[in-house]
Structures are given as C-alpha cells and as structure tokens.
A and B are shown apart, each in its own frame.
Chain A
Amino acid sequence: MKLLLEISLYFSQFCIVLAMLLCMLRLLKGPTAQDRVLALDTLWICAMLFALLLGIGFASLVYFEWAMLIALTGFVSSVALAKFLMRGEIIE
C-alpha cells in the first residue's frame, strides 16, 4: 500500500509539472497582456498544489503554510496586475 501512494504521488507531481509547463507556454506566447496575467494566475495555483503535494509526501504540516502564502500572494498579484491593465494605475 505504501507503493500505491508513492506511485500516485509521483504521478501527480508529474502532472502538476506538466500543467505548469503548459501555463508557461501560454505565458510566453499569449497574444494579449490579459492572457499572460491569466496564465500567471494559473501558475500560482499550480505552485500551491505542488506545495500541498510536497506536504503529503514529506508528511509535514510546514508546507501547509507555504501553500497558504502562495495562494495569498497569487491573489494579490493577479488583482494588482488586472487593475493595472484596466486603468493604468493600481490604487485609484
């Protein structure tokens, strides 16, 4: 049963890294600026999921705080970028 959990952990790590790669492609080739911001937002979410995976793999609760911090900073950066693209300034 340890083997099953190991295989599923490695498989999901592979899938998340592949998802991050796809986001990176969209980030590089996105035709407009809002495409790039959307790809960056998805990249933050993928990083949060990867931190959770590491937490399960190492059986430690420290990674939970990493995931929380990544989610927080990702939200703030996405909102700031979206507002900047709309108005040209962040705080009106």
Chain B
Amino acid sequence: MINIPEDISPWLAIPVALLLICGSLITLVGTLGLLRLPHFYQRIHGPAISITFGAGSFLLASMLYFTVLQQRLVIHELLITAFVMLTAPVTAMLLMRTAVYRDLRNGRQSPDLKPATPLASGHATTAGANRPGLMEEQSDSNPE
C-alpha cells in the first residue's frame, strides 16, 4: 500500500519519520491517559495532548512531505490545524459544563474535588437543598 518514491532524500525522510513517530507516540500517551485516569475531571485532560501535539506533528509532517514532493508550497493542512485548535476547547468546555451540571443535578460529588474547591463543596453540602431549585430551573427552560 505504501507509495513512496525510491530516490527520496534523507533530508526529507528523517524529519518526516521523526515527526510521525513523535506524533503517534504522543497520541498513544493521550489515549492511555483517557483510559487510565480515575476521574472524569482528570480524564478530560488526556485527549488534549493528543489533539494539540499529536495532530500538530502529523500536520507538520504532511505539510513538509507534500511541499518537497510536489515542489511547491502545500500549506492547506493549516486549515485543519486552525479548525482543530479552534474547536477542541469548545468541545472540552461543553463537556465539562455537562459533567458539572449532571453531577450537581444528581447530588453526586467526587471526594477528590471537595477540599480544593470550596464553592463546589458548598454545593455538595447543600446538594439536597439545591436539588429542587435545579430541577425547577430545568423545567423552566423545558416547558413540556
């Protein structure tokens, strides 16, 4: 399946190979963090490294390879880079808000977050009192 020219220069092959190996290893480490970290609030940090460094190295390698191979400037991978860098924080923020909202609504609080965040622990101690209010707020925004 591999379609690489025979007379490829070492000045191209070595940086591209290095970038590919670095990017794939970093992606692997990020997903390993996604699998191994104990709590959701820690787990959400795992894929961030694979999005930024992994995708960045791969896109850099692709740009370098096609620029030298076609002997013109091929930089449309910058589109993907910009798009991924713009959308990854949006997805992470929405997921984080979802997790906080759902945990508060269910009166569930992770034990390892209590001492670090006094606001969240305050919510946790009055979780029973807050619960009807949150439910009311939800039914306000959802008239059915």
Residue positions of A touching B, CB distance < 8 A = 1-2, 4-16, 18-20, 22-23, 25-26, 32-35, 37-39, 41-42, 45-46, 48-49, 52-53, 55-61, 64, 67-68, 71-72, 75, 78-79, 82-83, 85-89, 92
Contact = CB atoms under 8 A, between A and B. Distances in A.
10 contacts: A1-B14, A8-B18, A8-B20, A15-B24, A15-B27, A26-B35, A34-B95, A58-B3, A82-B95, A82-B98
Given A22-B31, A22-B32, A59-B4, A53 B58 contact: yes
B47 A41 contact: yes
A66 B1 CA distance: 18
Nearest to A12: B24
B40 A25 contact: no
Interface residues of B, number: 62
Given A2-B8, A6-B2, A12-B20, A18 B94 contact: no
A85 B142 contact: no
A23 B3 CA distance: 29
Given A71-B87, A85-B102, 19 more contacts: A5-B8, A6-B2, A6-B4, A22-B31, A23-B34, A25-B35, A38-B34, A45-B54, A55-B62, A58-B1, A61-B74, A64-B76, A68-B80, A78-B91, A78-B95, A79-B90, A82-B95, A86-B98, A92-B141
